[in-house]
Structure formats: structure tokens, C-alpha cells
Amino acid sequence: MSGSSDTEVYVKQGFGKDLELKAPFGLLLIDFVNGFADEAWFGGGNIRDAIACSVDLLAAARERGWPVAHTRIVFADDASDANVFSDKIPSMLHLTEAAEISQIVPDLAPRPGELVVRKQLPSGFAGTSLQGWLTRHGVRTLMIAGCTTSGCVRASVLDAVGAGFVPIVVRDCVGDRAIGPHEANLFDMEKKYAQILDRDTVLAAATVPA
């Protein structure tokens, strides 16, 4: 993490104001698929810990009636929708619709009525129906879990801000394959774009049903 001098300059310049959690709430689970739980593919670091922590978060969201959306990276079998993202990370093209590594992990499997977004870019909002679906369900504050913190989580947070949602990154429910980028991006998002709270604090604070 950055040292105290770094924190001081952000505070001096007015960064990092707390965001208010305003109902209705929604939950976005980003790319918690088998391939990101597996170090042989895209996993590592604290991603498995984030998956385990998200089980109770998802259960609480369902109990409270929050709209829940999941994302998966899914490319066409023939790579006809390849893009600059996959040019940079060609192994992403293995994440096809039927591939086992592209399936959401069983402990967080979607239920009927929950949105499953298939995407080909880091953000869950880019070229998808996510924004319209959240708006239709009246969401104001969006709880965000998933992986990776430095990649698809960060990109989705930025687009959530642009769409007018209040993004709350659930600290212990996001993970990355390397801890350095994870911590650096939590720091940066907290200072500029989102509120960063641990799961139990989120669930205690967000007590108003959707």
C-alpha cells in the first residue's frame, strides 16, 4: 500500500469523500467463473478467498430481495468477436459459451430472475444490457464483488460511476491474481470513484430492502 505521505496529499487535495449508501441496492458479481478460480488459467492471489467471502454476500442479497447480476467473459467459438482485449490476452478466447472455465463457480451459481451478462470487454457495462437492467430495477447503490480488482472490477466501477450508480466495492469479496495490483487499485478507487467497505459493514449498513 502507499505510504502516509501519499495518503496525505490525497486528503489535502480533497479526494476520498465518503459516499452514502442509498436504497434501492443491487449486487453485481463480476467474472466469478471457474477459470478465474484456477491458477492454471486466470486465477491466483486472493481470488478464491473473494469467492468464498461472496457466498454469504450473495445469500444476504437474495434474502433482502436485491436485484443480482453476474458477468461472464464469453467469446464466440470461432473467435469472430475477438477484439483488442483478446489481442492483449489471447488466452481469453478460451472463454467460450460452453467451456467449463467460462461457467460461473457452483457456489455462486445464478438463480432464475438474476441477470447473467456475457461480455467481451473488461467492464460489465460495455456493450451489454446491464445499465438498463439495473435502472429498470430501480438500483441506486451497486454493491460490487468479483475479479480481478485491477481489471474487470475497476472497469465496471468506472462505468457504474458514469451511469450514475453509487459503487460500493466489497473489499473482502474482490480479488486479484497478484496482491500488489489488488491493493493499489482498492486505494485508487477509494480515493476517486467508490466506497470501499468490507462485507459485514456493507450488510449492516444496507438494511433497507430493495
Q: What is d(CA 156, CA 61) in angstroms, rounded to the nearest whole number? A: 19
pLDDT, tens digit, 9 for 90 and up, residues 9-35? 898 889 989 999 999 999 999 999 999
Burial class from Cβ neighbours inside 10 Å (0-12, 13-18, 19+) for residue 65 reads exposed
What is the model's pTM?
Answer: 0.94
- Residue 9 inside a domain? The answer is no
| Higher-pLDDT residue of 95, 2 | 95
173 catalytically annotated? no
| Higher-pLDDT residue of 8, 169 | 169
CATH number at residue 106: 3.40.50.850
Contact call for residues 172 and 53 (beta carbons, < 8 A): yes
Residue 154's pLDDT band (cuts 50, 70, 90): very high
| Average pLDDT across the chain, whole number | 95
- Residue 11 inside a domain? The answer is no
- Residue 1 inside a domain? The answer is no
Nearest Cα neighbor of 15 from 33, 29, 30, 2 is 2
- The pLDDT score that the predictor gives to residue 98 is 98
CA distances from 74 to 35, 120, 188 (A): 12, 6, 28
- Residue 7 inside a domain? The answer is no
Q: Does 210 have pLDDT greater than 60?
A: no
- The pLDDT score that the predictor gives to residue 120 is 97
Q: What domain range includes position 98?
A: 23-204
Catalytic residue among 53, 147, 152, 173: 152
- The pLDDT score that the predictor gives to residue 173 is 98
The count of structural domains within the chain is 1
Cell numbers at 146, concatenated:
468479483
Contact call for residues 106 and 59 (beta carbons, < 8 A): no
Q: Does 4 have pLDDT greater than 70?
A: no
- The pLDDT score that the predictor gives to residue 207 is 79
Q: Does 2 have pLDDT greater than 80?
A: no
- Residue 94 inside a domain? The answer is yes
- Residue 83 inside a domain? The answer is yes
Ranges 13-22, 120-129, 144-153, 173-182: which has the least confidence: 13-22
- Residue 59 inside a domain? The answer is yes
Q: Are β-strands 68-73 and 195-197 bridged in parallel, bridged antiparallel, or unpaired?
A: unpaired
- Residue 6 inside a domain? The answer is no
- The pLDDT score that the predictor gives to residue 201 is 95
- The pLDDT score that the predictor gives to residue 208 is 60
- The pLDDT score that the predictor gives to residue 6 is 74
pLDDT, tens digit, 9 for 90 and up, residues 78-111? 999 999 999 999 999 999 999 999 999 999 999 9
Question: Which residues have CB under 8 Å from 154's CB, separation 6+?
Answer: 122, 185, 188, 189
